[in-house]
Amino acid sequence: MVSIESARKAARRGSKICTGFHPIDRIAQIFDAYRDEAARVGRPAGPEQLAIRRNVTLGRDGPEAVEISRAAMRAYRAALTHDPRYTESPLPDAPGPTHGFSVGDDEFIAGTGREVADNIIAQCRRAGAGHFLCTLNRGSPLDRQMAAFELYARDVIPALRAAEA
């Protein structure tokens, strides 16, 4: 789900939606369109119907996490060049392919548990999302991935569950 057109269609048929890739301001536009269309067809929607998906990197400290995340972002963008919908020049307000997408800096969230939690909560509030899907430590060795899951469980999940969307 990467376009306003698809979001409106989903609202008409009563499906929930999840999106990623885009900068958060673009996601907020997509979710606004979804909420508007859902209200128009008499099926009001809120945070329970909306999810954001992001890549999240946790490290022993913030700088380490950012360094790992930057490497993952480069690899991710390189892999996406195979997708004809992908553009490397994100201009959210410019007209473009109906279903095109870019990878904004908001896509990669990195830092300590507290920093990551604050970033996720801010993005969810900006767009009005009640669900957050994370891909944790993409590209890291398995032992680092396991450590990231444990950190996320300890430092991020309680903050998300305590937050208001």
Partner 1 sequence: MIKPWIFEFFGAPGGGRDRPVGSDVTAEHYTWHLDLWRRTEAMGFEGIFFSEHHFGLGFSPSPNLLIATLATVTRTLRLGVMGIVLPYYQPWRVVEEIGMLDQLTGGRLEIGTASGIPQEMERIGLTVEEANARNAEAIEILDAALAAPVISHHGKFWSFDNLNIAPRPVQLPSPPNGRRW
Other C-beta atoms within 10 Å of 127: how many? 23
Q: Rounded to whole angstroms, how far apart are CA atoms 60 and 156?
A: 14
Find the shortest distance in angstroms from Cβ 53 to partner 1.
5
Of 8, 33, 149, 155, the residue at the interface with partner 1 (CB under 8 A) is 149
Q: Rounded to whole angstroms, how far apart are CA atoms 122 and 135?
A: 18
Q: Rounded to whole angstroms, how far apart are CA atoms 61 and 63?
A: 6
Length of the chain: 165
Q: Which is nearer to partner 1, 103 or 156 (CB)?
A: 156
Say how many residues touch partner 1, by CB under 8 A: 42
> Residues 71 to 110: which contact partner 1 by CB under 8 A?
82-85
Site string for partner 1, 38-77 (x = CB under 8 A): ---------x-x-x-x------------------------
- Tracing tokens 């307000």 back to the chain, one arrives at 93
DSSP state of 87: -
Which tokens sit at 43? Answer: 């099926």
| Nearest in space to 137 (alpha carbons), one of 81, 88, 51, 67 | 67
Of 33, 66, 147, 160, the residue at the interface with partner 1 (CB under 8 A) is 160
Q: Rounded to whole angstroms, how far apart are CA atoms 146 and 163?
A: 25
Q: Which is nearer to partner 1, 66 or 163 (CB)?
A: 163
> Residues 12 to 31: which contact partner 1 by CB under 8 A?
13-18
What does the binding site for partner 1 look like in residue numbers (CB under 8 A)? 13-18, 47, 49, 51, 53, 82-85, 120-121, 124, 129-136, 138, 142, 145-146, 149-150, 152-153, 156-158, 160-165
